[in-house]
Amino acid sequence: MLEDHISDKKSLFSTGVHTELREQKSRSRQVVMIQGNLTGNARMESSGTSARVYQNGVYGFSSIAECSGDAAETVLKAATENAGFMDRHVGRGKGPLPVIPCSPIPQGSSIQDAEQKHYVEFAKALDGYITEKYPGLSSRSVIATEDSLEKIICTSDGCSGHICAPRSYIYVFLNTETASGTPIELFKSIGGTGIFTENFTDPALLYPEIDKLYEQIMRKREGVYAEAGYKTVVLSGFMSGMLAHEAVGHTVEADLVLGGSVAGPALNKCVASELVNLVDYAHTAFGRPVPLPVYLDDEGTPAEDAVLIRNGILTGYMHSRESAQHFGAKPQGNARAWSFSDEPLIRMRNTAVLPGRDKLEDIIASVDDGYYLITSTNGQADTTGEFMFGVNMGYEIKNGKLGRALLDTTISGVAFNMLKTVDMVSDTVEWTSSGFCGKKQPMPVGMGGPALRCKVMIGGR
């Protein structure tokens, strides 16, 4: 467990400024097995101390790769000097940030560390299963990972706390070829919050997921290109979660609003069908823990849910303490940092479209000519809300029934236009959390949603 070298340094905080002091240890374990070759087998650890000081509208930050009382004093001094440098040269003349009322924060517990052989043996077992059961595949890869963060946060006028956040995943990639010799690929990630040995106790428990993935790639092998155009589609929960994060979530991060995002002039306006509700959850949703719970952010703000869209109306943004002051809003714990040497930025946590009342089967049955889009390779979006997702698994829908599988394609649209076309919402939310959101720093995030019927542009060939 990370030893606390910083809590007793509060007496060194300068007066008249806002100060954050953080001590952090990050750990990652990774095993990569490609075609049975163990190409990656690594254990990585980094730790250090950082300080950030807010003075009259500008920040000074400093970090050092050391966890000690001396390190804390060094970064406090450097961050204070940097804030002073900026204040002298830039002089924005803003006052102090509002004080954050403190509340009890759940304390993290020690993160257990599995030996590397657990990761290697697990990957070997899955690789062996794939090789033996599906010898016709052209190639396969298995990746076993864990990454964890442990932080001690101490602030001048907010909450303090000790946070632990481990997560672990298995990624399986399968490759084959179409009849014409075109290579195709599908992958599946499995896992979530928790250490590797908690999440993965027996490789056999994952075999059904691999079987399902194999069945999908065999369907895709016989797949067709989607017909390009503006089409009615059913987005799976995986896809609507990505939409929630990429196409809407980023545009309502307050720093991007200040940078000119489309959400700036859209506050309190209709941006979606009244069936659409969107929330960035902190730690609990629908009575259960979210995939990656956040209880306290790196500015010392206790985390609570941020309601972004209610019945189709854009109701709020996600904030840091500074942006909340600017917009006259309440900060809700979205300011997070990845490494000890990173400053907190406004980040999503677990962003989800809320479920509706329709059954997935009924939604599919309602489509005469369209597509059911299930998984995505990647997604990008613009601050205008224009988005693009790569789709690597989907099916045609003809006369309310699933048809042929699709080869890789892309969908695109403008979020606040596309969301107005949503006219059916399923009653079940599907969560994912294996990726990293990229915004200057990587950040683990959860995203989720129900199936949606809507209209988007789909790329064909």
Nearer to other proteins, 58 or 318 (CB): 58
Cβ–Cβ under 8 Å, residues 369 and 229: no
We find the least distance from the C-beta atom of residue 37 to other proteins, in angstroms, to be 6
We find the least distance from the C-beta atom of residue 28 to other proteins, in angstroms, to be 8
**321 closest CA partner among 52, 26, 12:** 52
We find the least distance from the C-beta atom of residue 149 to other proteins, in angstroms, to be 15
54: Cβ contacts below 8 Å, ≥ 6 apart? 17, 18, 19, 83, 96, 97, 322
We find the least distance from the C-beta atom of residue 209 to other proteins, in angstroms, to be 21
We find the least distance from the C-beta atom of residue 295 to other proteins, in angstroms, to be 26
**Whole-Å CA distances, 20 to 49, 61, 333:** 11, 9, 14
Cα–Cα distance for residue pair 124/36, rounded to 1 Å: 7
**Whole-Å CA distances, 23 to 137, 339, 449:** 47, 10, 34
Using DSSP's 3-state secondary structure scheme, residue 110 falls into: coil
Maximum C-alpha span of the chain: 71
**411 closest CA partner among 383, 379, 449:** 379
Nearer to other proteins, 160 or 261 (CB): 261
Cβ–Cβ under 8 Å, residues 277 and 354: yes
Look up residue 19 and give its two tokens.
């100060």
Nearer to other proteins, 363 or 454 (CB): 454
Which residues does residue 401 pair with via DSSP β-bridges, in sequence order?
Answer: 398
Nearer to other proteins, 40 or 98 (CB): 40
We find the least distance from the C-beta atom of residue 341 to other proteins, in angstroms, to be 5
We find the least distance from the C-beta atom of residue 288 to other proteins, in angstroms, to be 32
We find the least distance from the C-beta atom of residue 31 to other proteins, in angstroms, to be 9
Nearer to other proteins, 139 or 428 (CB): 139
Nearer to other proteins, 64 or 354 (CB): 64
**Whole-Å CA distances, 99 to 96, 158, 253, 372:** 9, 6, 21, 48
Dihedral sign, Cα of residue 293, residue 356, residue 209, residue 390: negative
